Structure 1
Amino acid sequence: MNHGTSRHPAGPARAGAALAALLVSAALLAGCSASGSGGHSSDGFAADERGGPVPAPAATAPDEAGKQEKGDEAAPDYLSTFALDVDTASYGYARRVLGDGQLPKPETVRPEEFVNSFKQGYERPSGNGFSVSVDGARTGEGADDWSLLRVGLATKAADDTVPRPPAALTFVVDISGSMAETGRLDLVRTSLAYLTEQLRDDDSVALVTFSDEAETVVPMTGLRGHRTKIREAVESLRTDSATNVAAGVERGYDEAVEGRREGATNRVVLLSDALANTGETDADAILERIGSSRREYGITLFGVGVGSDYGDALMERLADKGDGDTTYVADEAQARKVFVDQLPAHVELRARDAKAQVAFDRKTVRQFKLIGYENRAVADEDFRDDDVDGGEVGPGHTVTALYAVRLRPGASGHVATATVRWLDPATRKAREATGSVEADALDQALWGTSDERLQVTATAAYFADILRGGTLPGTPHLGELASRARKLAAETEDGSVARLADAISQAAVLKGAADEMPAVPAEGEID
């Protein structure tokens, strides 16, 4: 495993990488040769019959896929580019749904958010940038089997001896009728109480509520001498009628702009079940309304989801396009974790518009597939375009990207180089860091490696892939995965891994029951 902080580029992006491509479907493992879309990079490729590389098909019309005139040379795409994502809401919500005795809907499962919910133990950088770690392990035996390659990015943890910049936070609270579900608004009150108590006297907050309309309850107010006023405002929250998320977000950004402070972290904190049912309900349209506030003033959005019924897609889209992140809070313990233990990560920034690009070596790599990050894909040629949105990352965050990688038989030497690029939050200056990995680093067997955190990462990724109906190479069945998670929980003495094992066991029972359900006859069909 190699670590690096070099600012040299990982290699030039190939602007024509998604042009005409030759499809050799017999050489591809089903589900592991995804192609890019909308100009995004391809995530898989295979060797042709002569052993030479050919790219996965570009996103063309079905009757054009695989067509190539004799003598034309395709431009194989060995790049994978995506915006960083520190969201964890998908995993938190999946645990909640499983705990309620149901399987999560596949479209709510995002593997990167499962993976990023767990400690990784990466080496931290000495400065305010990123460390880059690249490692992996084999998922099976034999030359034609696959490996998991892990790209790990980490920021320096918050330093208590160095004061953070002040925070100006606008709380946007959903008080619609759906928030009347037992414990839902109570949990929001608890979360806000935790957060407000953790903030400093030189921080300031505003409070906006929304149901069918939005209202400013408390304009931007410094906490010094006003904690009681804010606490009483939070305690007075009561549910009302419809859910006009757009009105709440728009009013919240108006208040954030009005109370914006130079040199502070200016952020909107949306607490909601995101079940929009009135007004504008499309995330992109909502964000368009407050676009100038986001771009001109750099105000970011932190989404906190609650409730057994939860508008996951809307909240995730709002946060991704609002230059922020999301989490899901199911109970008071999670509220304390988010707003007490992890407070610095949510009110400070280490990096703006952070993107990663992984360049695979065509001489050693036969196929690769990025696991997750579909919603965070970035065109390869936009990696160093700093006007293209990336992800915002706070202190102490880790970001992990897992790839299923198939090496060429007998491959040795360089496998991949990972580069992360971001803007310094204070100076807006672009910076980069790199790390790389060699083939011999992938020789160890996944379940035999001494790196327990790599095994936890793989367990979380496999679990997510099973829930969304994927076919990752080397995926154990749920019973085996639960057993491995139990063993890892004991070895790491990590309660979060024990809860992962519980969730996998719950899914195994539910999927087993679902598999035994008789098929429902179609209308007009006889039993």
Structure 2
Amino acid sequence: MNNWLWRIVLLLLALSLVACAGGTNEPRPIAVEPHQGGAEPVEVTVVVTAEGAAEPALMATQAPTAPTIAEATEEATEESPAATPEAEFEYYGANPYVETGMDRLSTFALDVDTASYSVARNYIMEGTLPPASAIRVEEFVNYFEQDYVNPDNVAFGIYADGAPSPFHRDGTHIMRVGIKGYDVAAEERLPTALTFVVDVSGSMSGENRLGLVKQSLQLLVERLRPDDTVAIVVYGDTARVALPPTRGAEQDLILSVIHSLTPEGSTNAEAGLRLGYQIANQAFIPGGVNRVVLCSDGVANVGLVDPAGLTEALRGYADAGITLTSVGVGMSGYNDVLMEQLANDGDGNYAYIDTLEEAKNLFVDNLTSTLQVIALNAKVQVDFNPDVVARYRLLGYENRDVADQAFRDNTVDAGEIGAGHTVTALYAVEFYPNAAGRVATVQLRWEDPQTHEVRELAGEFNSFDMAPSFDAASLRYQLDVVVAQYAEVLRYNPEAMQTSLSDLRVRAERLAAQLPADPDVTEFAQLVERATLLQP
């Protein structure tokens, strides 16, 4: 064969090897739940349980292009996180390693919130590293798209994969556990009754607060159907109804009320929420989506101001089927603690909007996921094999911990999953030398919001399911691990002290090149670069 032909053959062979190299291993479901009315998948055991029942059988958008670093604001503005009064966060600590011989069970409530990542982004883009207390690892990871693809006619799938950690030199592996809920097409979304509770107090003045809220709500209203309803409650010193429940077909009227809102007075969040839930109760659609959307900077200085007191006063509405989305804006004086706790106890989700593009992500690209709940009180319990796993550590979910014995206690409040939502949890796992076999059994328990039937699903993950190297794992798995380590570094976790932001920048830039169609990954790489420059 001619020399030039050999060169062509070798070039094609090299290209094929590159195409087949790392990042091609997609996670496989270790358990699936058949969708009602669909064909039952093979090798699935679905267990319908009641409280105290026997143990289950085990079976197995285009987002905007991120601003470049050069385009980022170099000086902190009056709305900078460095400005006073300071934002309010709560530090929940960091999960320690747990010896499986002492406790082989890890139980937590699922969390689909993403606010912590957006808050941290806002700090960094304003030229300041976020406080450690603002960082919740799971919300960083769950901000990003995942690669879980449920088979047809499947309501829920449990996924698991893993690989050696690139940030440890002691044989530690990172195991990823993923939950994927079924999608609901926009045209199949249930009729929806929305009650906007909008903070119009003096602290909400400014285009990046009330102005951004009005633009965000317009995006949502433009996506509603004629048979949906919208009501608007506003609060400053007191609360009032700005718009009684109105059909979605009257879009012009709804938008005119939204755009007429102006800042006024102090912040009586209690009055606003009480009136908002009363209106939502009056507009209640049986069998539909009934949701309060709170838009605020979290400041509460009149009436009940304690998060526990506020959530206790409203818990009954959540139990009666009215859920809550809390949307945070602003930063100076921002109360992250209040906004997150309201969403948790309101059986809903918590998002932070720092740009109109983030609002588009929440209210346009993921509207059905934001509004329609497909699982209530969702909990995961991971049962590690003490013959294989020496110890483990859950990355994040510190404030979502559930007692192991409460996994099947239906009175314990847990998390909610929206249509099409994915939830990811990462574990650092250390194996015994030469141990192999079952690593863990992953169990998911949830309540169906329509039938209120409690269901369980479980599957096993084995050592032979681990990728041989980090670079051989799927790209989305790699992204999750790098994002989690970034969060650990930002919150100064001693377990991550061996990793620098410069180390993470290399990984982030590589993933941005490998996932060029995902602007969130591009933005992530830019944020890591900027954080590296901000580091003392």
The question of 1:110 aligning with 2:136 is answered: yes
Equivalent residue, structure 2, for 1:299: 322
- 1:96 deviation in Å? 0.6
Bigger Cα displacement from structure 2, 353-362 vs 132-141: 132-141
Structure 1 residues 462 and 283: alpha-carbon distance in aligned structure 2, compared to 1, 3 A threshold:
same
Q: What's the Cα RMSD here? A: 2.2
Equivalent residue, structure 2, for 1:499: 523
Give 1:117-516 correspondences, 5 Å limit.
117-127=143-153, 129-139=155-165, 144-160=170-186, 163-224=188-249, 226-295=250-319, 297-309=320-332, 310-446=334-470, 448-472=471-495, 476-493=499-516, 494-511=518-535, 514=536
CA distance in 2, matches of 1:193, 1:128: 34
> Are the counterparts in 2 of residues 125 and 156 from structure 1 also a CA contact under 8 Å?
no
- 1:143 deviation in Å? 9.1
> Are the counterparts in 1 of residues 193 and 284 from structure 2 also a CA contact under 8 Å?
yes
Question: 1:3 corresponds to which letter in structure 2?
Answer: I
CA distance in 2, matches of 1:125, 1:213: 51
> Are the counterparts in 2 of residues 133 and 436 from structure 1 also a CA contact under 8 Å?
no
Structure 1 runs of 4+ aligned residues shifted over 4 Å read: 8-13, 140-144
Question: 1:131 corresponds to which letter in structure 2?
Answer: G
Equivalent residue, structure 2, for 1:32: none
CA distance in 2, matches of 1:370, 1:267: 32
- 1:417 deviation in Å? 1.1
- 1:400 deviation in Å? 0.1
Structure 1 residues 150 and 504: alpha-carbon distance in aligned structure 2, compared to 1, 3 A threshold:
same
Give 1:23-172 correspondences, 5 Å limit.
44-46=97-99, 54-55=101-102, 77-127=103-153, 129-139=155-165, 144-160=170-186, 163-172=188-197
Instruction: String of CA shifts for 1:111-138, please: whole Å, max 9, x gaps.
Output: 0000000011102253463100011111
CA distance in 2, matches of 1:400, 1:11: 27
> Are the counterparts in 2 of residues 365 and 405 from structure 1 also a CA contact under 8 Å?
yes
- 1:473 deviation in Å? 5.8
Structure 1 residues 128 and 227: alpha-carbon distance in aligned structure 2, compared to 1, 3 A threshold:
farther
CA distance in 2, matches of 1:134, 1:434: 11
Question: 1:363 corresponds to which letter in structure 2?
Answer: D
1:198 is paired with a residue of what secondary structure? coil
CA distance in 1, matches of 2:281, 2:394: 38
2:188 is paired with a residue of what secondary structure? coil
CA distance in 2, matches of 1:244, 1:369: 41
- 1:171 deviation in Å? 0.3
CA distance in 2, matches of 1:497, 1:246: 39
Question: 2:475 corresponds to which letter in structure 1?
Answer: E
Instruction: String of CA shifts for 1:130-175, please: whole Å, max 9, x gaps.
Output: 1000111111599942111100100122225x62210011101011
> Are the counterparts in 2 of residues 125 and 154 from structure 1 also a CA contact under 8 Å?
no
> Are the counterparts in 1 of residues 163 and 473 from structure 2 also a CA contact under 8 Å?
no
Structure 1 residues 116 and 140: alpha-carbon distance in aligned structure 2, compared to 1, 3 A threshold:
closer
- 1:474 deviation in Å? 9.0
> Are the counterparts in 2 of residues 146 and 474 from structure 1 also a CA contact under 8 Å?
no
Equivalent residue, structure 1, for 2:4: none
CA distance in 1, matches of 2:110, 2:259: 36
CA distance in 2, matches of 1:470, 1:334: 28
Give unpaired runs (5+ residues) of structure 1. Answer: 14-41, 47-52, 56-76, 515-527
Structure 1 residues 114 and 306: alpha-carbon distance in aligned structure 2, compared to 1, 3 A threshold:
same
- 1:480 deviation in Å? 1.6
CA distance in 2, matches of 1:136, 1:385: 30
> Are the counterparts in 2 of residues 137 and 442 from structure 1 also a CA contact under 8 Å?
yes
Structure 1 residues 223 and 377: alpha-carbon distance in aligned structure 2, compared to 1, 3 A threshold:
same
> Are the counterparts in 2 of residues 2 and 437 from structure 1 also a CA contact under 8 Å?
no
Equivalent residue, structure 2, for 1:74: none
> Are the counterparts in 2 of residues 157 and 396 from structure 1 also a CA contact under 8 Å?
yes
Question: 1:193 corresponds to which letter in structure 2?
Answer: Q
CA distance in 2, matches of 1:182, 1:140: 43
Identity %: 40
> Are the counterparts in 2 of residues 43 and 80 from structure 1 also a CA contact under 8 Å?
no
Question: 1:207 corresponds to which letter in structure 2?
Answer: I
CA distance in 2, matches of 1:474, 1:456: 19
Question: 2:30 corresponds to which letter in structure 1?
Answer: H
CA distance in 1, matches of 2:158, 2:361: 26
TM-score (norm 1): 0.82
Structure 1 residues 143 and 510: alpha-carbon distance in aligned structure 2, compared to 1, 3 A threshold:
closer
